[in-house]
Amino acid sequence: MPGAFTGRSKGDAVKDWYKAMAFYQIWIRSFYDGNNDGIGDLYGVYEKLEYIKSLGVDGIWFSPLYPSPNADYGYDISDYKNIHSDYGDLDIFKKVLDRAHELGLKVIMDLVINHTSDEHPWFIKSRQSRNNPYSDYYIWRDAKHGKLPNNWDSLLEGKAWEYCPERGQYYLHLFAKKQPDLNMDNPAVREEVKSIMRFWLDMGVDGFREDVINFISKADGLPNGNPFIPVANGMPYYKDGPHIHEYLGEFRQVAEEYDCFLLGEGPMTTTRSALSYLTGRHKTLDLMFHFEHMMADCFMTEYIRRPFSLVKLKKAFSKWQYELEGRAWNTLYLENHDHPRIISRYGDDKRFHRESGTMLAACYLFQQGTPFIYQGQEIGMTNIRLSSIEQYADVSSKNNYYRFHTKDPVTKRLERIYASSRDSARTPMQWDRSAHAGFSKVKPWFYVNPNYRKINVKSEEADEYSILNFYRKCLAYRKRSKVVLWGTYKEYCRTDNYIYMYERSYRGKKILVVCSFADHNIRWRLPRAFAHSRGKLVLCNYPVHTPHTLAPYEARVYEIRNVKDKANNRL
Ligand code: GLC
Ligand code: CA
What values do phi and psi take at 298, rounded to 5? -160, 180
Cα 509 to chain center, whole Å? 31
Q: Which residues of 26-61 are buried (b: 16+ CB within 10 A; e: fewer)?
A: bbbbbbbbbeeebbbbbbbbbebbeebbebbbbbbb
% of the chain with per-residue pLDDT over 90: 91
Check residue 561 and give its pLDDT. Answer: 85
Q: How far is CA 185 from CA 68, 125, 191, 218, in A?
A: 24, 18, 11, 9
Check residue 15 and give its pLDDT. Answer: 62
Q: Work out the angle at residue 390's Cα, subtended by the Cα atoms of residues 384 and 394, and round it to the nearest 5 degrees.
A: 65
Whether residue 570 has pLDDT greater than 60: no
pLDDT tier at 329 (50, 70, 90 boundaries)? very high
Whether residue 117 has pLDDT greater than 50: yes
Catalogue the E-assigned strands of 74-133: 106-111
In the chain, the amino acid numbered 426 is: R
Rounded distance, CA 314 to CA 325, Å?
A: 16
Rounded distance, CA 344 to CA 357, Å?
A: 9
In the CATH scheme, what is the code of domain 486-570? Answer: 2.60.40.1180
What values do phi and psi take at 68, rounded to 5? -165, 140
How far, in Å, is the centroid of ligand 2 from the Cα of 45?
10
Catalogue the E-assigned strands of 194-246: 207-210
Query: Considering only the top CATH level, what class is 17-109+268-276+286-472?
Result: alpha beta
Average pLDDT estimate for 52-65 = 98
Check residue 6 and give its pLDDT. Answer: 36
Whether residue 558 has pLDDT greater than 50: yes
What values do phi and psi take at 549, rounded to 5? -130, 135
What does pTM read for this prediction? 0.96
What values do phi and psi take at 25, rounded to 5? -95, 130
The question of whether 496 is a catalytic residue gets the answer no
Q: How many CA atoms lie within 13 A of 193 on its CB side?
A: 31
**Strand partners of residue 550:** 522
Pocket test for ligand 1, best of 68, 301, 338, 426 (most atoms within 8 A of CB): 338
Whether residue 8 has pLDDT greater than 50: no
In the chain, the amino acid numbered 380 is: G
Q: How far is CA 146 from CA 68, 160, 180, in A?
A: 33, 16, 21
Which residues in the chain are classed under CATH 2.60.40.1180? Answer: 486-570
pLDDT tier at 392 (50, 70, 90 boundaries)? very high
Closest ligand by atom to 440 CA: 2
Whether residue 567 has pLDDT greater than 60: no
Please tell me the residue having the least CA distance from ligand 1 atom 7.
Answer: 212
Check residue 258 and give its pLDDT. Answer: 95
Mean confidence (pLDDT) of the chain: 95
Q: How many CB atoms lie within 10 A of CB 464?
A: 9
How far, in Å, is the centroid of ligand 1 from the Cα of 211?
6
Is 525 exposed, middle or buried (CB count within 10 Å of its CB: 0-12, 13-18, 19+)? exposed
How far, in Å, is the centroid of ligand 2 from the Cα of 39?
4
Whether residue 2 has pLDDT greater than 60: no
Rounded distance, CA 560 to CA 508, Å?
A: 10
158-165 contacts, C-beta under 8 A, 24 or more apart: 158/399, 158/403, 160/234, 164/127
Q: How far is CA 297 from CA 293, 326, 411, 468, in A?
A: 9, 30, 20, 25
Whether residue 234 has pLDDT greater than 60: yes
Pocket lined around ligand 1, Cβ cut-off 6 Å: 72, 75, 112, 175, 211-212, 265, 337-338
Question: What is the tally of helices (H) and strands (E) in the chain?
Answer: 14, 20
Rounded distance, CA 92 to CA 82, Å?
A: 11
Check residue 568 and give its pLDDT. Answer: 47
Pocket test for ligand 1, best of 73, 178, 211, 335 (most atoms within 8 A of CB): 211
Please, are residues 52 and 96 in contact by the beta-carbon 8 Å criterion? no
How far, in Å, is the centroid of ligand 2 from the Cα of 24?
20
pLDDT tens digit string along 438-486? 999 999 999 999 999 999 999 999 999 999 999 999 999 999 999 999 9
Q: How far is CA 304 from CA 299, 321, 419, 471, 494, in A?
A: 5, 26, 10, 30, 25
Q: Work out the angle at residue 424's Cα, subtended by the Cα atoms of residues 420 and 429, and round it to the nearest 5 degrees.
A: 165
3-state SS class at 332: strand
pLDDT tier at 528 (50, 70, 90 boundaries)? confident
Which residues in the chain are classed under CATH 3.20.20.80? Answer: 17-109+268-276+286-472
Please, are residues 137 and 122 in contact by the beta-carbon 8 Å criterion? yes
Rounded distance, CA 173 to CA 558, Å?
A: 50
What are the DSSP calls for 459-506, one per residue? HHHT-TTSHHHHHHHHHHHHHH-HHHHH-EEEEE-TT-SSEEEEEEEE
Check residue 409 and give its pLDDT. Answer: 97
- Point out the catalytic residue in the list 16, 211, 302, 335: 211
pLDDT tier at 186 (50, 70, 90 boundaries)? very high
- Point out the catalytic residue in the list 58, 265, 349, 503: 265
The question of whether 211 is a catalytic residue gets the answer yes
Average pLDDT estimate for 127-149 = 97
How far, in Å, is the centroid of ligand 1 from the Cα of 75?
6
Whether residue 4 has pLDDT greater than 70: no
Whether residue 10 has pLDDT greater than 50: no
Whether residue 212 has pLDDT greater than 50: yes
% of the chain with per-residue pLDDT over 70: 96
Provide, for the chain, the percentages of residues in helix, strand and coil under a 3-state DSSP scheme, each rounded to the nearest 5.
Answer: 35, 20, 50
Check residue 200 and give its pLDDT. Answer: 98
Average pLDDT estimate for 262-269 = 97
Please, are residues 332 and 20 in contact by the beta-carbon 8 Å criterion? no
241-247 contacts, C-beta under 8 A, 24 or more apart: 241/215, 241/216, 241/217, 242/217, 243/184, 243/185, 243/217, 244/214, 244/216, 244/217, 245/276, 245/277, 245/282, 245/284, 246/217, 247/184, 247/190, 247/216, 247/217
Average pLDDT estimate for 21-37 = 98
Q: How many CA atoms lie within 13 A of 382 on its CB side?
A: 24
Please, are residues 539 and 566 in contact by the beta-carbon 8 Å criterion? no
Whether residue 534 has pLDDT greater than 90: no
3-state SS class at 297: coil
Which ligand 1 atom sits closest to the C-alpha of 174?
6
Please, are residues 529 and 502 in contact by the beta-carbon 8 Å criterion? no
Check residue 562 and give its pLDDT. Answer: 79
pLDDT tier at 532 (50, 70, 90 boundaries)? confident
CA neighbor of 285 nearest in space, from 370, 377, 174: 370
